[in-house]
Amino acid sequence: MASQQPSSSVPASPPKVSSEDIISQKTGIGFGTGVVLSVLLFRRRAFPVWLGTGFGLGSGWTDCERSFNPVAVPGVRILPSAAAATANPSTMERLSARTAEVFDKTKDKTQELAGKGKQKAQEVESKVEEKVSSDFKIRSAVEAHETPDNDCLACRLTGTATLSALGAYSFREAYLAGAFASRAPRSASLRARGFLLVLFGATCFAGGAYRLVN
């Protein structure tokens, strides 16, 4: 006897329906409904036919969108599989990775620039300290060689001659004003002027003598 092997049952695939068939079917239903309504209720007017045809065409178009382009239907979202998501990252993931990469590069560049700026500031600070130190050393050396008592002879003679000449001029003016005439009639203003000139001349001579010594 020939052994009978059980045949594997393969599920039959649903018949393929084209979009033209769906639109034709829906439009035909709408047209027929419009004709019936126009004959029975609206005394054979045309608007029920056009209205039914439009409803049928719109319903067929909606069914085609839902069947052949489900992404266009509001509220419908197609989630990719895990393998597809791993192989093809989404735009947001690529954008996030790119943003993180740019941020890391910017951070490294900023740290590098900050390090260079800090190093430059330290170099400038060291140069300023060296400059100030050298200026202070030069000034200290100059001040060490210059003492207040070490005045030049020409300076003392010049000062003494100037003050002495000013004192002599003051005494001459006092003499012309009659300060040294004991019996000449003088007014109060002339006496006061002569006294001031004599006092100023004596002060200039004293200053000249002090400058000659010191």
What is the tens place of the pLDDT at every residue in 164-177?
998 888 888 888 87
Let me know whether 209 and 159 are in one domain: yes
Domain count, the chain: 3
pLDDT at 2: 45
Q: What is the pTM of this model?
A: 0.31
Q: How far is CA 146 from the centre of its chain?
A: 53
pLDDT at 179: 72
Q: Is the sign of the CA dihedral 194, 195, 200, 206 positive or negative? A: positive
Domain stops at, among 143, 175, 202 = 143
Domain stops at, among 115, 143, 171 = 143
128 Cβ partners below 8 Å, 6+ apart?
A: none
Let me know whether 157 and 209 are in one domain: yes
Q: What is the per-residue pLDDT across 179-209, written as a single tens digit (0 to 9) for each?
A: 776 655 567 777 788 888 888 888 988 988 8
Let me know whether 157 and 134 are in one domain: no
Is residue 93 in some structural domain?
A: no
pLDDT at 85: 53
pLDDT at 197: 85
Q: Which residues of the chain have pLDDT under 70?
A: 1-15, 71-90, 139-151, 181-186
Q: Could you give the count of Cα atoms lying within 13 Å of 164 in the half-sphere of its Cβ? A: 11
pLDDT at 169: 87
Is residue 92 in some structural domain?
A: no
Let me know whether 163 and 191 are in one domain: yes
- Name the average pLDDT for the chain: 77
pLDDT at 1: 41
Let me know whether 131 and 173 are in one domain: no
pLDDT at 3: 47
Cα(170)–Cα(184) distance, integer angstroms:
20
Is residue 87 in some structural domain?
A: no
Is residue 10 in some structural domain?
A: no
Is residue 37 in some structural domain?
A: yes
pLDDT at 142: 56
Gap between the terminal Cα atoms of the chain? 154
Is residue 64 in some structural domain?
A: yes
**Boundaries of domain holding 109:** 102-143
> For residue 176, what are its two tokens?
């012309």
Domain stops at, among 122, 143, 164 = 143
Is residue 169 in some structural domain?
A: yes
Let me know whether 125 and 173 are in one domain: no
Is residue 91 in some structural domain?
A: no
